[in-house]
Structure formats: C-alpha cells, structure tokens
C-alpha cells in the first residue's frame, strides 16, 4: 500500500513528521509538502511560476520532498511527477487547530485532501483542536486506524475531514459522524501603524456559535468527541437546481 502525506504547515512541521511515522508502519509513505508554512491558502495552485522540488533529509535519511508551492500543488506534483503512480490514499496533516465549519473553505490542509479525492484517491484531512500544545501522537495513531479501515473498505475517492478534540486521549468521549457546521469567525481588522508611520491592518476576530445539533462538527469537538465529516468538492446546490428549473431565463 502506498500513501502520499502532505500538509499546509510545511515539511518541517512536527505534525507531518508524526503522521508520516505512524502511517509508515502500514504503508510505503511518500512525503510531499510545502517548503514553508502555507496555512489558509485554500485550494490555490501555482500557474505562472516554476515549482521546485528539494529533497529533505532528517536523521541522515530521506524524509520527503519540499515544494515551493501550495498544498494542492504538492498533491498534484506528488502524484503526477514524484510518485508516478496514484497512491492508495492521501493524508493531509496533522494540523494544529481544528478545521470545522466555514474554516474548511480556507484550509490548506483540507484542500490538499480535496485534491487527492479529485485525483481519485481515498483522502483524509487530520486536525487537532489545539494550536498551542497539540497531541500529535494520538492523532497519528488514530490516522493509522483510519488507514486500515480505508484499505479494507476500498472506497475510491472517499473524502473525510477528521478533527480531534484537544483533551487527553483517555477523556475522549468516542467518535461522531458529523456534518459541516456553520461556525465561522466574526472578522475584525485591527488598524495599526508601522515604525514608518504607515497604516496597516491585522486580521483578528472571534469565533461565532454554531447551530445546535450533536452531529455538527464543532459541537462534537466541544463535547470531547472525534469528529469525522464526509465532504465533497462538488459545490452544486441540488435543491436550488431543481427550483431553478421552474424559472424562465432569458438571454
């Protein structure tokens, strides 16, 4: 079994090292990740600049390949040029900080998994809901369990967004199959002055409440559960599509 591992925090991030180490117990792992952190870049790809590939060694051994591009770039070049064959699965992470609600639209972690699914691979985005002291080891171990399950089910193109609560493993209250909620951030732009007296703005904000429901991703994390959300990249609103069939559109 072959697995492509990537992220949006960069190839030197602790999360991707733990993820690759765990999955390598089950599969042949190829790491292809951005050369620097590229969080919140969404599904951007590089069109007008060359992509450069650099080998990265850790402990005297080849760890993976650093790309001067986005997470989606990494999956594209990883499958089409570095691995030369479609892997059995793509795992993206482990991201410090949850990717729930509208966060997944901006997330480079999730976008990398989406790109894997577009290319026909079972794909999983893995995040931990703690930016300061994330437990990567537990998330990595759970990722290995998911890989075992995916290998048995043989469901091509499946796309899962997995979030771990930021509590000790022994206090986790189980696993919930969830839906993407509407939790988002209320944005504020803090107006500041640089040393030269020029105005600049720093994006900040606060998290809004999600809608009620035990099967909402952010609520599962709040309740101390692992959240697993099946997602898709087809954005068609099928309900609205049926309604619009009744409209008369003139050219």
Give the list of residues 6+ apart from residue 165 with CB closer than 8 angstroms, or none: 129, 172, 220, 221, 224, 225, 226
Which residue numbers in the chain have pLDDT < 70? 185, 209
What pLDDT digit, counting tens, does each position of 200-235 carry? 998 887 777 678 889 999 999 999 999 999 999 999
Q: Please compute Rg for the chain using Cα positions.
A: 19
Tell me, what's the pLDDT at 56?
A: 98
Tell me, what's the pLDDT at 189?
A: 87
Tell me, what's the pLDDT at 43?
A: 96
pTM for this entry = 0.93
Tell me, what's the pLDDT at 73?
A: 98
The residue extents of the domains of the chain are: 2-182+210-244
Tell me, what's the pLDDT at 236?
A: 93
2-182+210-244 CATH: 3.40.1210.10
Closest alpha carbon to 101 in 223, 184, 15, 185: 184
Tell me, what's the pLDDT at 250?
A: 81
Closest alpha carbon to 162 in 119, 129, 116: 129
Tell me, what's the pLDDT at 114?
A: 97
């Amino acid at each position: 079994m072959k697995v492509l591992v990537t992220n949006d925090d960069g190839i030197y991030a602790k999360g991707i090292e733990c993820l690759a180490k765990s999955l390598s117990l089950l599969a042949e792992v190829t790491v292809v990740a951005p050369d620097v952190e590229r969080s919140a870049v969404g599904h951007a790809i590089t069109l007008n600049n060359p992509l450069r590939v650099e080998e990265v060694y850790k402990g005297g051994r080849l760890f993976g390949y650093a790309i001067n591009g986005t997470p989606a770039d990494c999956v594209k070049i990883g499958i089409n040029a570095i691995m030369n064959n479609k892997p059995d699965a793509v795992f993206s992470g482990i991201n410090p900080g949850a990717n729930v609600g509208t966060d997944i639209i901006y997330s480079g972690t999730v976008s990398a998994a989406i790109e894997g699914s577009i290319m026909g691979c079972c794909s999983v985005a893995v995040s931990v809901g703690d930016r300061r002291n994330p437990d990567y080891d537990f998330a990595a171990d759970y990722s290995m369990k998911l890989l075992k399950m995916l290998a048995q089910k043989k469901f091509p193109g499946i796309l899962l967004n997995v979030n771990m609560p930021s509590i000790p493993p022994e206090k986790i209250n189980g696993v919930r199959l969830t839906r993407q909620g509407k939790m988002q951030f209320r944005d504020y732009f803090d107006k500041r002055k640089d040393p030269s007296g020029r105005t600049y703005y720093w994006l900040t904000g606060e998290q809004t409440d999600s809608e009620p429901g035990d099967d909402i991703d952010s609520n599962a994390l709040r309740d101390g559960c692992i959240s697993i959300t099946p997602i898709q990249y087809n954005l068609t609103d099928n309900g609205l599509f049926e309604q619009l069939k009744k409209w008369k559109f003139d050219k």
